[in-house]
Structure 1
Amino acid sequence: MMSLHNLLDANQQFALNGRGTTNHCPMALHALAEMGADEARLNDFFAYWLRDKALPASPGSRLADEGQDPEARFSQLRADFSGKVAKEGWQPLFAQIVAQGISPASGAFHPMIRLACAIENGHQGEQAAALAAWHCKPLHLPQGLGAPCPDLPALLARLHETLGGWHSNQRWITARLRQVAEMPSFVQALPNSLARQKLTQKHDGPDDLLGTLAELALALYWQTRDFTVLHLVTGTRAASLIAAQLGEPLRGDFIRLLWQGVAAAYVTVGAPALGAPRWPDLGAISWQQVTTLAIASDDDHCIKLVHTCWRERAVSPHYLAVAAREVGLLADDRPDERHTAAR
């Protein structure tokens, strides 16, 4: 029977991607462990992933350039970064990502989420793997040419007005993000700055961008149950964990890249109008019920979303509603778009 860290060590045999998806295994294992799954359950999930989803890691090569096969590049960078993280920690390599303008939306937000999980559980190999994944799926978003916006809600309102209803036939989230990044209309609508970009540690200030983003993402996911928006919910918590470890000006630069990535992701789902959510009466539904069902699930996105909601449960009771719906305790007539792969 292997512990969480032993399983994360074993995960190093896996490729960057799995069958029809990215490698969610380390993130799901972390979420399961935090919610109280025992070692038997962790080993069962790992066995499921190995059997049904995992692909073997590609041999690395000495030339880790962007023209190389992404899987080979990932293996080489993961090996190179492992030594650097062991000596210097993850922050210097992360600072390079920010300096190169690589968006937190790269890889459909998964490298950022993977890094946050690895920071929480302290697994340096996973920190290196997450940073390598970020480099292997780089998304560079343009600097906006639009007038400054006062805050994030105003930015989303502008995008709804100018690009509401946008649609793509691309299957992958990452492909749709690249489409949006190349659209002149997006560049013209995207502001060159937000007047209020302040980040507070307690998420209770009027200028707290991450706190505002968390509220907006949760409400939008309740409204749409869109698969991309799910990644905004889990990604916001990941960004908060990372940002809390950063000093200025690195933190401010990271937050700027984050809201630009959120803007692009919002357009990929059609930039819908943000309605006032109608939150349900939860009756006797408890977190114990929800986490028990999530721990028993093999749906990696369900596990990760419920974990995020459970960790943020003190912030808002609405996290329980979202998590309860995710595990089937609340009825919902909206389609679950899990068929839209998140590579």
Structure 2
Amino acid sequence: MDYLHSLLDANQAFALNGRDTTNHCPMALHALHEMGATQSQLRRFFTHWQSAHALPAGLNHQGEEEETRFVRLRQLLAIRIAEEGWLTTFEALLKDGLSPAGGAFHPLIRLACALENGHLGEQAAALAAWRCKPLILPAGEGPECQDIFALLGSLSARWEGSHWPGEWITARLRQVAADSRWPGSLPRRLAGGGDVLAQLAEAALPLYWQTRNFTVLHLVTGSRAAAIVARHLPIELRGRWQTLMWQAVAAAFITVGAPRLGPQRWPDVSGLNWEQVLPLAIASLDDHVIKLVHCCWREQTGSTHPSRYLAVAARAVGLLAAEGERVA
């Protein structure tokens, strides 16, 4: 853990927006560490990220004003968190209605990693990134829905096949938030009760298997992160957190055209196991592969369908073809 923390400390020298986003590096390092990566493997990934993606903090062409704001806010929050913990800052974030989808779900996932590994600087960085990439989604005005599956079904009925231009997830989310049809599409509340975050995870995995969509991948990893954060919250904050999360998922679902979830054809993975999958993920330099496999590996333990998580992870590292057939 000490070596992981030293690399997370070193990550603070990177600009928030480099050739990619610095949020990715600490998340991938956390996932690699949990999956059993050695110090040399952690260093290999960090060195790759430093040379291929990162830019030093504060470079003028990075947008000096935004970068300066992030660095100063991170420093301020680091002091506050050291004195009183992260929850006060997070509660203010909930009160302001900042969506978990802000920053394409990356600050949320980064915070969940930081809560698991206990790195206070990463908790500060995640919350600072969240504040610097704010997204506020207008509240819903539509009829209430029973659960997540009913929500996605109603969104498909209205938005299936919709197209939202732009390369970046956050840019498309902002288009949905600004659309005059959005409030009427979103229910005022989910009425069925139950564990909404567990429902999100249950819906996100088959949707990703069906679509292989990059945004939906973030719903898989984001739903797990949301559940981790929820476990650290007092009961009085959990309802607000769940509401913000299902609203975020609804908006993200629309940005990918609200595809109707069809019947799933899951492959036979009886000849595969995690001992085959994890080393391939650790050897990968693709941060999304690393994070997806880590999420699946962790989530399958308590799932009623652990083989589905294995199938998604095996496909991510190339042991299954796109159609789910075994790679020779």
Structure 2 length as normaliser, TM-score? 0.94
- Per-residue CA deviation, residues 230-270 of structure 1 (Å, 9 max, x unaligned), is 00000011000000111132111111000000000000000
Within the candidate set 153, 165, 168, 2:164 is matched to 168
Residue of structure 2 equivalent to 1:296: 283
1:338 is matched with: none
Aligned to 1:323: 313
Match of 1:136 among 129, 132, 138: 132
Q: Give the secondary-structure state (helix, strand or coil) at the position aligned to 1:196.
A: coil
Q: Deviations over 1:204-242 (max 9, x none)?
A: xxx221111101000000000000000000001100000
Note the residue ranges of structure 2 that are not aligned, 5 or more in a row. none
2:215 is aligned with 1:228: yes
Single out whichever of 13-22 and 184-193 deviates more from structure 2. 13-22
Q: Which residue of 1 aligns with 2:56?
A: 56
Secondary structure at the counterpart of residue 136 of structure 2: coil
Q: 1:17 to 1:23 in 2, by over 3 A?
A: farther
**Which one-letter code corresponds to 2:77 in the other structure?**
F
- Rounded to whole Å, the distance in 2 between the matches of 1:59 and 1:99 is 33
Provide the rounded CA distance (Å) in 1 between the counterparts of 2:86 and 2:21: 25
In the alignment, does 2:97 pair up with 1:101? yes
Per the TM alignment, residue 34 of structure 1 is displaced from its structure 2 partner at its CA by 0.1
Q: Report the equivalent of 1:209.
A: 196
Letter matched to residue 211 of structure 1: A
Distance 1:53 1:68 in 2: 18
Structure 1 residue identity aligned to 2:107: P
Aligned: 1:34 with 2:25: no
Task: Give the aligned length.
Answer: 318
How far apart, CA to CA, are the structure 2 residues paired with 1:68 and 1:51?
Answer: 21
Contact 1:221 1:230 in 2 (8 A): yes
Which segment is superposed worse, 207-216 or 24-33? 207-216
Please give the secondary structure, in 2, of the residue aligned with 1:168.
coil
Tell whether the 8 Å contact from 1:146 to 1:188 is kept in structure 2 after alignment: yes
- 1:84 aligns to what? 80
One-letter amino acid of the structure 1 residue matched with residue 130 of structure 2: W
Aligned equivalents of 1:55 and 1:249: distance in 2?
Answer: 40
- Separation of aligned partners in 1, 2:200 and 2:163: 23
Equivalent AA in structure 2 for residue 154 of structure 1: A
Which residue of structure 2 aligns with residue 184 of structure 1? Answer: 180
- The runs of at least 4 aligned residues of structure 1 exceeding 4 Å deviation read none
Q: CA deviation at 1:68?
A: 8.5
- 1:21 & 1:269 partners in 2: Cα distance? 21
2:61 is aligned with 1:74: no
Deviation per CA, 1:54-109, whole angstroms, max 9, x where unpaired? 0111289xxxxxx9832221111001000011111111111011000000000000
Overall identity of the aligned pairs, in %: 59
Counterpart for residue 246 of structure 1:
233
Q: Specify the SS of the correspondent of 2:82.
A: helix
Residue 18 of structure 1, CA deviation: 2.4
Partners of 1:255 and 1:22 in 2: CA distance: 26
* Equivalent residues in 2 for 1:275-290, closer than 5 Å: 275-290=262-277
Query: Is the Cα contact below 8 Å between 1:23 and 1:54 reproduced in 2?
Result: no
Is the helix fraction higher in 1 or 2? 2
Distance 1:333 1:167 in 2: 25
Mapped partners of 2:95, 2:68: distance in 1: 24
Q: Is the 8 A contact 2:108 2:126 kept in 1?
A: yes
- The offset of 1:22, in angstroms, is 4.7
Provide the alpha-carbon RMSD of the alignment.
1.7
- What is aligned with 2:322? 332
Distance 1:99 1:174, change over 3 A: same
CA contact (8 A) 2:20 2:54 kept: no
Partners in 2 of 1:196 and 1:254 — Cα distance? Answer: 16
The 8 Å contact of residues 142 and 185 in structure 2, kept in 1 or not, is answered as: yes
Q: Is the 8 A contact 1:59 1:75 kept in 2?
A: no
